[in-house]
Structure 1
Amino acid sequence: MTSAEESGPSVLERSFRILGAFDPSAKTLTLTALSQRAGVPKSSTLRLVRQLVELGALERTERGDYAIGLRMLEMAALAPRGHGLRATALPYMEDLHRVTRQHVLLAVREGTDAVLVERLSARDAGRVLHRVGGRLPLTTTGVGRVLLAHAPADVLDSLIGAPAPSWRAPDIQTPDELRVALAEIRHQGFAEVTSDRPEPEPVTSMAAAIRRGQEVIAALSVVAPTHTLQPRECRAAVMTVARAISRELTAGRESLPR
Protein backbone atom coordinates (compact mmCIF):
# COMPACT_ATOMS: atom_id res chain seq x y z
CA MET A 1 0.00 0.00 0.00
CA THR A 2 1.38 3.42 -0.92
CA SER A 3 1.67 6.32 1.51
CA ALA A 4 -1.04 8.15 -0.48
CA GLU A 5 -3.40 5.24 0.08
CA GLU A 6 -2.53 5.09 3.78
CA SER A 7 -3.49 8.76 4.22
CA GLY A 8 -6.53 8.53 1.96
CA PRO A 9 -9.93 6.93 2.36
CA SER A 10 -10.14 3.66 4.28
CA VAL A 11 -10.51 0.30 2.56
CA LEU A 12 -14.15 0.20 3.66
CA GLU A 13 -14.86 3.64 2.20
CA ARG A 14 -13.15 2.78 -1.09
CA SER A 15 -15.12 -0.47 -1.28
CA PHE A 16 -18.37 1.42 -0.82
CA ARG A 17 -17.32 3.92 -3.46
CA ILE A 18 -16.81 1.04 -5.87
CA LEU A 19 -20.19 -0.51 -5.05
CA GLY A 20 -21.81 2.93 -5.32
CA ALA A 21 -20.38 3.50 -8.78
CA PHE A 22 -23.18 1.44 -10.31
CA ASP A 23 -26.51 3.04 -11.18
CA PRO A 24 -29.49 2.31 -13.47
CA SER A 25 -27.58 3.66 -16.48
CA ALA A 26 -24.43 1.71 -15.59
CA LYS A 27 -25.40 -1.73 -14.33
CA THR A 28 -22.17 -3.25 -15.60
CA LEU A 29 -18.81 -1.48 -15.58
CA THR A 30 -15.27 -2.19 -16.72
CA LEU A 31 -12.42 -2.00 -14.26
CA THR A 32 -11.36 1.34 -15.75
CA ALA A 33 -14.86 2.77 -15.49
CA LEU A 34 -15.16 1.56 -11.89
CA SER A 35 -11.89 3.24 -11.02
CA GLN A 36 -12.93 6.51 -12.64
CA ARG A 37 -16.45 6.63 -11.22
CA ALA A 38 -15.34 5.62 -7.73
CA GLY A 39 -12.33 7.92 -7.69
CA VAL A 40 -10.09 5.05 -6.62
CA PRO A 41 -6.70 4.30 -8.25
CA LYS A 42 -6.91 1.49 -10.77
CA SER A 43 -4.45 -0.73 -8.89
CA SER A 44 -6.48 -0.40 -5.68
CA THR A 45 -9.72 -0.91 -7.58
CA LEU A 46 -8.42 -4.17 -9.05
CA ARG A 47 -7.39 -5.46 -5.64
CA LEU A 48 -10.71 -4.49 -4.03
CA VAL A 49 -12.97 -5.81 -6.79
CA ARG A 50 -11.21 -9.18 -6.64
CA GLN A 51 -12.05 -9.37 -2.96
CA LEU A 52 -15.61 -8.17 -3.56
CA VAL A 53 -16.07 -10.86 -6.21
CA GLU A 54 -14.81 -13.53 -3.81
CA LEU A 55 -17.31 -12.30 -1.20
CA GLY A 56 -20.19 -12.27 -3.69
CA ALA A 57 -20.70 -8.51 -3.51
CA LEU A 58 -19.67 -8.21 -7.17
CA GLU A 59 -19.95 -10.62 -10.09
CA ARG A 60 -18.06 -10.93 -13.39
CA THR A 61 -20.10 -10.85 -16.58
CA GLU A 62 -19.40 -12.98 -19.65
CA ARG A 63 -17.63 -9.97 -21.17
CA GLY A 64 -15.42 -9.62 -18.12
CA ASP A 65 -17.12 -6.51 -16.76
CA TYR A 66 -18.37 -6.20 -13.19
CA ALA A 67 -21.92 -6.09 -11.81
CA ILE A 68 -23.51 -6.02 -8.36
CA GLY A 69 -23.63 -9.54 -6.91
CA LEU A 70 -26.55 -11.45 -5.45
CA ARG A 71 -24.97 -11.32 -2.00
CA MET A 72 -25.84 -7.62 -1.91
CA LEU A 73 -29.49 -8.43 -2.65
CA GLU A 74 -29.54 -11.00 0.15
CA MET A 75 -28.14 -8.49 2.61
CA ALA A 76 -30.44 -5.66 1.46
CA ALA A 77 -33.45 -7.92 2.00
CA LEU A 78 -32.64 -7.93 5.73
CA ALA A 79 -32.95 -4.15 6.09
CA PRO A 80 -35.97 -3.56 8.38
CA ARG A 81 -36.77 -0.16 6.85
CA GLY A 82 -36.76 -1.79 3.44
CA HIS A 83 -37.92 -5.37 3.30
CA GLY A 84 -39.45 -5.41 6.81
CA LEU A 85 -41.60 -2.37 6.18
CA ARG A 86 -42.46 -3.63 2.71
CA ALA A 87 -43.61 -7.01 4.06
CA THR A 88 -46.11 -5.32 6.36
CA ALA A 89 -47.31 -2.74 3.86
CA LEU A 90 -47.47 -4.82 0.69
CA PRO A 91 -50.87 -6.51 1.21
CA TYR A 92 -52.47 -3.11 1.84
CA MET A 93 -50.64 -1.59 -1.11
CA GLU A 94 -51.99 -4.34 -3.33
CA ASP A 95 -55.53 -3.47 -2.25
CA LEU A 96 -54.90 0.20 -3.02
CA HIS A 97 -53.38 -0.74 -6.36
CA ARG A 98 -56.43 -2.82 -7.33
CA VAL A 99 -58.77 0.05 -6.47
CA THR A 100 -56.84 2.84 -8.19
CA ARG A 101 -55.08 0.93 -11.01
CA GLN A 102 -52.29 3.50 -10.73
CA HIS A 103 -48.78 3.60 -9.33
CA VAL A 104 -48.58 3.02 -5.58
CA LEU A 105 -45.33 4.12 -3.92
CA LEU A 106 -43.86 3.41 -0.49
CA ALA A 107 -40.87 5.49 0.64
CA VAL A 108 -38.73 6.25 3.68
CA ARG A 109 -36.50 9.25 4.38
CA GLU A 110 -32.72 8.96 4.20
CA GLY A 111 -31.07 12.28 4.97
CA THR A 112 -32.47 14.90 2.60
CA ASP A 113 -33.87 12.36 0.13
CA ALA A 114 -36.71 9.89 0.04
CA VAL A 115 -35.80 6.30 -0.85
CA LEU A 116 -38.37 4.24 -2.73
CA VAL A 117 -38.93 0.93 -0.91
CA GLU A 118 -41.68 -0.49 -3.12
CA ARG A 119 -43.69 0.42 -6.20
CA LEU A 120 -46.72 -1.31 -7.67
CA SER A 121 -47.69 -0.35 -11.21
CA ALA A 122 -50.52 -1.12 -13.60
CA ARG A 123 -49.80 -1.79 -17.26
CA ASP A 124 -51.99 1.09 -18.43
CA ALA A 125 -50.98 3.54 -15.68
CA GLY A 126 -49.12 6.73 -16.48
CA ARG A 127 -45.37 6.54 -16.73
CA VAL A 128 -43.41 7.02 -13.50
CA LEU A 129 -39.65 7.51 -13.61
CA HIS A 130 -38.82 6.34 -10.08
CA ARG A 131 -37.32 2.88 -9.45
CA VAL A 132 -37.30 0.77 -6.29
CA GLY A 133 -34.16 1.64 -4.36
CA GLY A 134 -33.92 4.99 -6.11
CA ARG A 135 -33.90 8.38 -4.43
CA LEU A 136 -36.68 10.93 -4.76
CA PRO A 137 -36.55 14.65 -3.89
CA LEU A 138 -38.32 15.67 -0.70
CA THR A 139 -39.95 18.82 -2.06
CA THR A 140 -41.30 17.84 -5.48
CA THR A 141 -42.90 14.46 -4.69
CA GLY A 142 -45.88 13.56 -2.53
CA VAL A 143 -44.05 11.01 -0.40
CA GLY A 144 -41.13 13.39 -0.08
CA ARG A 145 -43.21 16.26 1.26
CA VAL A 146 -44.96 14.05 3.77
CA LEU A 147 -41.62 12.78 5.05
CA LEU A 148 -40.15 16.29 5.15
CA ALA A 149 -43.21 17.65 6.97
CA HIS A 150 -42.53 15.23 9.82
CA ALA A 151 -38.73 15.31 9.74
CA PRO A 152 -36.58 16.94 12.44
CA ALA A 153 -36.08 20.69 12.04
CA ASP A 154 -32.42 20.32 11.13
CA VAL A 155 -33.37 18.32 8.01
CA LEU A 156 -35.45 21.23 6.70
CA ASP A 157 -32.70 23.69 7.65
CA SER A 158 -30.14 21.62 5.75
CA LEU A 159 -32.37 21.43 2.70
CA ILE A 160 -33.11 25.14 2.66
CA GLY A 161 -29.41 25.84 3.11
CA ALA A 162 -28.66 24.05 -0.16
CA PRO A 163 -28.76 25.89 -3.51
CA ALA A 164 -32.37 26.93 -4.19
CA PRO A 165 -32.86 25.02 -7.48
CA SER A 166 -32.37 21.76 -5.59
CA TRP A 167 -35.52 22.24 -3.50
CA ARG A 168 -37.74 24.61 -5.48
CA ALA A 169 -40.97 23.26 -6.95
CA PRO A 170 -43.60 24.75 -9.27
CA ASP A 171 -45.72 25.79 -6.28
CA ILE A 172 -42.84 26.52 -3.88
CA GLN A 173 -40.23 29.18 -4.58
CA THR A 174 -39.22 30.50 -1.17
CA PRO A 175 -38.37 28.99 2.24
CA ASP A 176 -41.47 30.58 3.73
CA GLU A 177 -43.69 28.98 1.08
CA LEU A 178 -42.09 25.63 1.82
CA ARG A 179 -42.67 25.98 5.56
CA VAL A 180 -46.33 26.91 4.97
CA ALA A 181 -46.83 23.92 2.65
CA LEU A 182 -45.33 21.55 5.22
CA ALA A 183 -47.51 22.98 8.00
CA GLU A 184 -50.59 22.38 5.85
CA ILE A 185 -49.55 18.76 5.32
CA ARG A 186 -49.22 18.22 9.06
CA HIS A 187 -52.62 19.83 9.62
CA GLN A 188 -54.51 18.12 6.78
CA GLY A 189 -52.81 14.73 7.01
CA PHE A 190 -51.96 14.43 3.32
CA ALA A 191 -49.89 15.97 0.53
CA GLU A 192 -51.07 16.63 -3.02
CA VAL A 193 -48.28 17.46 -5.46
CA THR A 194 -48.62 18.01 -9.20
CA SER A 195 -45.57 17.88 -11.44
CA ASP A 196 -44.95 20.42 -14.16
CA ARG A 197 -43.32 17.99 -16.56
CA PRO A 198 -44.75 18.28 -20.08
CA GLU A 199 -43.73 14.76 -21.13
CA PRO A 200 -44.91 12.11 -21.05
CA GLU A 201 -47.74 13.88 -19.15
CA PRO A 202 -48.25 15.82 -15.92
CA VAL A 203 -48.86 13.60 -12.90
CA THR A 204 -50.29 14.22 -9.45
CA SER A 205 -49.20 12.43 -6.32
CA MET A 206 -51.52 11.99 -3.33
CA ALA A 207 -49.58 10.93 -0.24
CA ALA A 208 -50.11 10.21 3.45
CA ALA A 209 -47.88 9.34 6.40
CA ILE A 210 -47.32 5.87 7.82
CA ARG A 211 -46.72 5.88 11.56
CA ARG A 212 -45.45 3.59 14.24
CA GLY A 213 -47.14 5.01 17.31
CA GLN A 214 -46.68 8.76 16.98
CA GLU A 215 -43.56 8.55 14.84
CA VAL A 216 -43.78 8.94 11.05
CA ILE A 217 -41.53 6.26 9.57
CA ALA A 218 -42.66 6.15 5.92
CA ALA A 219 -45.01 7.65 3.36
CA LEU A 220 -47.49 6.08 0.94
CA SER A 221 -48.76 7.62 -2.28
CA VAL A 222 -50.75 7.08 -5.43
CA VAL A 223 -49.32 8.70 -8.55
CA ALA A 224 -51.68 9.19 -11.49
CA PRO A 225 -51.99 11.31 -14.63
CA THR A 226 -53.38 14.64 -13.46
CA HIS A 227 -56.27 14.64 -15.92
CA THR A 228 -57.55 11.26 -14.67
CA LEU A 229 -57.07 11.72 -10.93
CA GLN A 230 -60.18 12.02 -8.77
CA PRO A 231 -58.70 13.91 -5.80
CA ARG A 232 -61.38 13.26 -3.19
CA GLU A 233 -61.65 9.52 -3.83
CA CYS A 234 -57.90 9.06 -4.17
CA ARG A 235 -57.19 11.04 -1.00
CA ALA A 236 -59.64 8.98 1.02
CA ALA A 237 -58.20 5.70 -0.29
CA VAL A 238 -54.57 6.65 0.41
CA MET A 239 -55.29 7.93 3.91
CA THR A 240 -57.37 4.85 4.79
CA VAL A 241 -54.64 2.46 3.66
CA ALA A 242 -51.90 4.47 5.38
CA ARG A 243 -53.85 4.30 8.65
CA ALA A 244 -54.31 0.54 8.26
CA ILE A 245 -50.57 0.00 7.75
CA SER A 246 -49.84 2.28 10.71
CA ARG A 247 -52.15 0.28 12.97
CA GLU A 248 -50.38 -2.97 12.12
CA LEU A 249 -46.93 -1.46 12.63
CA THR A 250 -47.99 0.11 15.93
CA ALA A 251 -49.39 -3.21 17.10
CA GLY A 252 -45.81 -4.46 17.10
CA ARG A 253 -46.03 -7.09 14.38
CA GLU A 254 -42.95 -5.66 12.72
CA SER A 255 -39.91 -4.30 14.53
CA LEU A 256 -38.34 -1.36 12.72
CA PRO A 257 -35.37 0.74 13.82
CA ARG A 258 -35.84 4.36 14.81
Structure 2
Amino acid sequence: MSSEEIFTGELIGTALLILLGGGVSAAVVLKHSKARSGGWIVVAFGWGLAVMSGAYAANELSGAHLNPAVTLGLSIKSGDWSHVPVYLGGQMAGAMVGAFLVWLTYLGQFQAHLHDPEVLRGTDVDPAGPVTRPVDAPKLPGGPVLGVFATGPEIRNPAQNVITETIATTVLVLVILTLGLNPGLTRSGISLLVVGLLVVSIGLSLGGPTGYAINPARDLGPRIVHALLPLPNKGSSDWSYAWVPVLGPLAGGAAAGGIFRLAF
Protein backbone atom coordinates (compact mmCIF):
# COMPACT_ATOMS: atom_id res chain seq x y z
CA MET A 1 0.00 0.00 0.00
CA SER A 2 1.26 3.45 -0.91
CA SER A 3 1.10 6.45 1.40
CA GLU A 4 -1.56 7.98 -0.86
CA GLU A 5 -3.73 4.87 -0.64
CA ILE A 6 -3.33 4.69 3.12
CA PHE A 7 -4.23 8.34 3.64
CA THR A 8 -7.22 8.15 1.30
CA GLY A 9 -8.51 4.93 2.82
CA GLU A 10 -8.20 6.17 6.38
CA LEU A 11 -9.80 9.51 5.51
CA ILE A 12 -12.80 7.90 3.79
CA GLY A 13 -13.24 5.14 6.35
CA THR A 14 -12.92 7.36 9.41
CA ALA A 15 -15.21 9.98 7.87
CA LEU A 16 -17.88 7.32 7.35
CA LEU A 17 -17.34 6.03 10.89
CA ILE A 18 -17.86 9.48 12.42
CA LEU A 19 -20.71 10.44 10.08
CA LEU A 20 -22.71 7.34 11.00
CA GLY A 21 -21.60 7.21 14.65
CA GLY A 22 -22.01 10.91 15.33
CA GLY A 23 -25.20 10.71 13.31
CA VAL A 24 -26.79 8.18 15.66
CA SER A 25 -25.76 10.32 18.63
CA ALA A 26 -27.38 13.36 17.01
CA ALA A 27 -30.49 11.35 16.14
CA VAL A 28 -30.97 10.31 19.76
CA VAL A 29 -30.05 13.62 21.43
CA LEU A 30 -31.45 16.40 19.28
CA LYS A 31 -35.00 17.71 19.46
CA HIS A 32 -37.12 17.31 16.34
CA SER A 33 -35.26 14.15 15.36
CA LYS A 34 -37.44 11.13 14.58
CA ALA A 35 -35.06 8.94 16.61
CA ARG A 36 -35.18 11.25 19.66
CA SER A 37 -34.51 9.39 22.94
CA GLY A 38 -33.81 6.11 21.17
CA GLY A 39 -31.57 5.13 24.08
CA TRP A 40 -28.19 3.58 24.76
CA ILE A 41 -28.82 0.34 22.85
CA VAL A 42 -29.57 2.33 19.68
CA VAL A 43 -26.38 4.34 20.19
CA ALA A 44 -24.27 1.22 20.79
CA PHE A 45 -25.55 -0.56 17.70
CA GLY A 46 -25.28 2.62 15.64
CA TRP A 47 -21.62 3.05 16.52
CA GLY A 48 -20.85 -0.63 15.94
CA LEU A 49 -22.40 -0.54 12.48
CA ALA A 50 -20.58 2.75 11.82
CA VAL A 51 -17.22 1.12 12.56
CA MET A 52 -18.10 -1.85 10.37
CA SER A 53 -19.18 0.37 7.45
CA GLY A 54 -16.07 2.51 7.61
CA ALA A 55 -13.87 -0.58 7.84
CA TYR A 56 -15.39 -2.22 4.77
CA ALA A 57 -15.02 1.02 2.80
CA ALA A 58 -11.35 1.49 3.72
CA ASN A 59 -10.09 -2.08 3.90
CA GLU A 60 -8.78 -2.48 0.36
CA LEU A 61 -6.96 0.86 0.44
CA SER A 62 -5.43 1.04 3.91
CA GLY A 63 -6.30 -2.08 5.88
CA ALA A 64 -8.91 -0.04 7.77
CA HIS A 65 -7.21 0.94 11.02
CA LEU A 66 -9.50 4.00 11.48
CA ASN A 67 -8.12 4.46 14.98
CA PRO A 68 -4.69 5.60 16.24
CA ALA A 69 -4.88 3.01 19.03
CA VAL A 70 -5.28 0.24 16.44
CA THR A 71 -2.39 1.66 14.42
CA LEU A 72 -0.25 1.72 17.57
CA GLY A 73 -1.15 -1.86 18.51
CA LEU A 74 -0.48 -3.16 15.00
CA SER A 75 2.86 -1.32 14.86
CA ILE A 76 3.95 -2.85 18.17
CA LYS A 77 2.85 -6.27 16.88
CA SER A 78 4.72 -5.99 13.56
CA GLY A 79 7.58 -3.63 14.44
CA ASP A 80 6.81 -1.57 11.33
CA TRP A 81 6.38 2.14 12.12
CA SER A 82 7.01 3.54 8.65
CA HIS A 83 3.44 4.56 7.79
CA VAL A 84 2.21 5.59 11.25
CA PRO A 85 2.17 9.37 10.52
CA VAL A 86 0.17 8.81 7.33
CA TYR A 87 -2.36 6.65 9.17
CA LEU A 88 -2.75 9.23 11.94
CA GLY A 89 -3.10 12.09 9.47
CA GLY A 90 -5.82 10.30 7.50
CA GLN A 91 -7.68 9.34 10.67
CA MET A 92 -7.73 12.85 12.10
CA ALA A 93 -8.72 14.42 8.78
CA GLY A 94 -11.47 11.86 8.30
CA ALA A 95 -12.81 12.35 11.83
CA MET A 96 -13.11 16.09 11.27
CA VAL A 97 -14.77 15.65 7.88
CA GLY A 98 -17.25 13.18 9.35
CA ALA A 99 -18.13 15.51 12.24
CA PHE A 100 -18.67 18.39 9.82
CA LEU A 101 -21.03 16.20 7.77
CA VAL A 102 -23.02 15.33 10.91
CA TRP A 103 -23.53 19.06 11.48
CA LEU A 104 -24.68 19.54 7.87
CA THR A 105 -27.04 16.58 8.05
CA TYR A 106 -28.70 17.74 11.28
CA LEU A 107 -28.35 21.48 10.70
CA GLY A 108 -32.02 22.26 11.32
CA GLN A 109 -32.13 20.08 14.43
CA PHE A 110 -28.99 21.72 15.85
CA GLN A 111 -30.51 25.16 15.36
CA ALA A 112 -33.84 24.18 16.94
CA HIS A 113 -32.18 22.34 19.83
CA LEU A 114 -29.80 25.14 20.70
CA HIS A 115 -32.52 27.80 20.63
CA ASP A 116 -34.99 25.77 22.67
CA PRO A 117 -35.73 27.42 26.06
CA GLU A 118 -35.99 24.07 27.87
CA VAL A 119 -32.61 22.98 26.56
CA LEU A 120 -31.02 26.27 27.56
CA ARG A 121 -32.53 26.01 31.04
CA GLY A 122 -31.44 22.38 31.37
CA THR A 123 -35.02 21.18 31.90
CA ASP A 124 -35.67 19.43 28.60
CA VAL A 125 -38.41 16.79 28.83
CA ASP A 126 -37.42 13.31 27.74
CA PRO A 127 -40.37 11.98 25.72
CA ALA A 128 -39.29 8.41 26.48
CA GLY A 129 -39.63 8.84 30.24
CA PRO A 130 -42.05 10.17 32.84
CA VAL A 131 -39.72 12.69 34.43
CA THR A 132 -38.12 15.96 33.46
CA ARG A 133 -34.35 15.81 33.36
CA PRO A 134 -31.39 17.73 31.96
CA VAL A 135 -30.07 16.48 28.61
CA ASP A 136 -26.24 16.17 28.32
CA ALA A 137 -25.81 18.66 31.19
CA PRO A 138 -24.98 19.19 34.02
CA LYS A 139 -22.78 16.11 34.25
CA LEU A 140 -20.73 17.38 31.31
CA PRO A 141 -19.15 20.82 31.68
CA GLY A 142 -19.55 21.10 27.89
CA GLY A 143 -22.59 22.51 26.14
CA PRO A 144 -25.91 20.87 25.28
CA VAL A 145 -24.69 19.22 22.04
CA LEU A 146 -21.10 18.33 22.89
CA GLY A 147 -22.17 14.72 23.36
CA VAL A 148 -22.98 14.51 19.65
CA PHE A 149 -19.32 15.20 18.86
CA ALA A 150 -17.21 13.98 21.79
CA THR A 151 -17.36 11.80 24.87
CA GLY A 152 -17.60 12.73 28.52
CA PRO A 153 -17.72 10.83 31.81
CA GLU A 154 -20.76 10.22 33.97
CA ILE A 155 -18.53 10.59 37.06
CA ARG A 156 -15.60 12.94 36.48
CA ASN A 157 -12.56 11.25 37.95
CA PRO A 158 -9.66 11.56 35.47
CA ALA A 159 -7.63 8.65 36.84
CA GLN A 160 -10.62 6.31 36.82
CA ASN A 161 -11.75 7.60 33.42
CA VAL A 162 -8.32 6.88 31.91
CA ILE A 163 -8.39 3.37 33.39
CA THR A 164 -11.83 2.72 31.90
CA GLU A 165 -10.76 3.91 28.45
CA THR A 166 -7.53 1.89 28.68
CA ILE A 167 -9.35 -1.33 29.55
CA ALA A 168 -12.02 -0.89 26.86
CA THR A 169 -9.44 -0.08 24.18
CA THR A 170 -7.23 -2.99 25.20
CA VAL A 171 -10.18 -5.30 24.59
CA LEU A 172 -10.84 -3.72 21.20
CA VAL A 173 -7.27 -3.80 19.91
CA LEU A 174 -6.37 -7.21 21.34
CA VAL A 175 -9.34 -8.84 19.62
CA ILE A 176 -8.43 -7.08 16.35
CA LEU A 177 -4.86 -8.35 16.63
CA THR A 178 -5.97 -11.92 17.33
CA LEU A 179 -8.38 -11.87 14.38
CA GLY A 180 -5.27 -11.56 12.21
CA LEU A 181 -4.26 -15.05 13.35
CA ASN A 182 -7.11 -16.48 11.27
CA PRO A 183 -6.36 -15.71 7.60
CA GLY A 184 -9.70 -17.16 6.52
CA LEU A 185 -11.63 -14.55 8.49
CA THR A 186 -9.46 -11.79 7.08
CA ARG A 187 -9.75 -12.92 3.46
CA SER A 188 -13.52 -13.35 3.65
CA GLY A 189 -14.07 -9.98 5.30
CA ILE A 190 -15.94 -11.56 8.19
CA SER A 191 -13.33 -10.14 10.56
CA LEU A 192 -14.67 -6.62 9.85
CA LEU A 193 -18.17 -7.74 10.82
CA VAL A 194 -16.74 -9.20 14.03
CA VAL A 195 -15.05 -5.88 14.82
CA GLY A 196 -18.34 -4.04 14.37
CA LEU A 197 -20.09 -6.44 16.75
CA LEU A 198 -17.18 -6.11 19.16
CA VAL A 199 -17.71 -2.33 19.27
CA VAL A 200 -21.39 -2.94 20.06
CA SER A 201 -20.34 -5.26 22.89
CA ILE A 202 -17.85 -2.75 24.29
CA GLY A 203 -20.48 -0.02 24.18
CA LEU A 204 -23.03 -2.13 26.03
CA SER A 205 -20.60 -3.61 28.56
CA LEU A 206 -17.87 -1.01 29.12
CA GLY A 207 -19.26 2.22 27.68
CA GLY A 208 -21.32 3.40 30.63
CA PRO A 209 -18.63 5.22 32.64
CA THR A 210 -17.09 7.41 29.90
CA GLY A 211 -19.08 6.96 26.68
CA TYR A 212 -16.31 4.70 25.26
CA ALA A 213 -14.18 6.85 22.99
CA ILE A 214 -11.75 3.91 22.48
CA ASN A 215 -10.30 5.96 19.61
CA PRO A 216 -8.34 9.22 20.02
CA ALA A 217 -9.24 10.49 16.53
CA ARG A 218 -12.92 9.73 17.09
CA ASP A 219 -12.97 12.07 20.08
CA LEU A 220 -10.37 14.74 19.33
CA GLY A 221 -11.29 15.41 15.69
CA PRO A 222 -15.01 16.01 16.34
CA ARG A 223 -14.21 17.98 19.51
CA ILE A 224 -12.13 20.37 17.40
CA VAL A 225 -15.03 20.66 14.93
CA HIS A 226 -17.42 21.40 17.82
CA ALA A 227 -15.11 24.21 18.91
CA LEU A 228 -14.95 25.67 15.38
CA LEU A 229 -18.54 25.34 14.18
CA PRO A 230 -20.89 28.36 14.40
CA LEU A 231 -23.29 26.63 16.80
CA PRO A 232 -25.37 29.11 18.85
CA ASN A 233 -25.34 28.61 22.63
CA LYS A 234 -23.10 25.57 22.18
CA GLY A 235 -21.13 26.08 25.39
CA SER A 236 -17.71 24.70 26.17
CA SER A 237 -15.88 21.99 24.21
CA ASP A 238 -14.62 20.68 27.60
CA TRP A 239 -10.91 20.81 26.78
CA SER A 240 -10.03 20.01 30.39
CA TYR A 241 -11.24 16.45 29.74
CA ALA A 242 -10.02 16.10 26.14
CA TRP A 243 -6.72 14.45 27.11
CA VAL A 244 -8.48 11.47 28.72
CA PRO A 245 -9.99 9.95 25.54
CA VAL A 246 -6.60 10.41 23.86
CA LEU A 247 -4.29 9.02 26.55
CA GLY A 248 -6.54 6.15 27.66
CA PRO A 249 -7.04 4.63 24.19
CA LEU A 250 -3.37 5.03 23.27
CA ALA A 251 -2.41 3.26 26.50
CA GLY A 252 -4.90 0.52 25.66
CA GLY A 253 -3.54 0.12 22.15
CA ALA A 254 0.01 -0.16 23.50
CA ALA A 255 -1.11 -2.64 26.17
CA ALA A 256 -2.86 -4.80 23.58
CA GLY A 257 0.23 -4.81 21.35
CA GLY A 258 2.40 -5.81 24.29
CA ILE A 259 0.02 -8.55 25.42
CA PHE A 260 -0.13 -9.94 21.89
CA ARG A 261 3.66 -10.11 21.57
CA LEU A 262 3.97 -11.83 24.94
CA ALA A 263 1.12 -14.30 24.47
CA PHE A 264 1.18 -15.11 20.78
TM-score, normalisation: structure 2: 0.23
- From the CA coordinates, give the structure whose radius of gyration is larger: 1
- Determine which structure has greater relative contact order: mean sequence separation of CA pairs < 8 Å that are 6+ residues apart, divided by chain length: 2
- Structure with the larger helix share: 2
- Structure with the larger strand share: 1
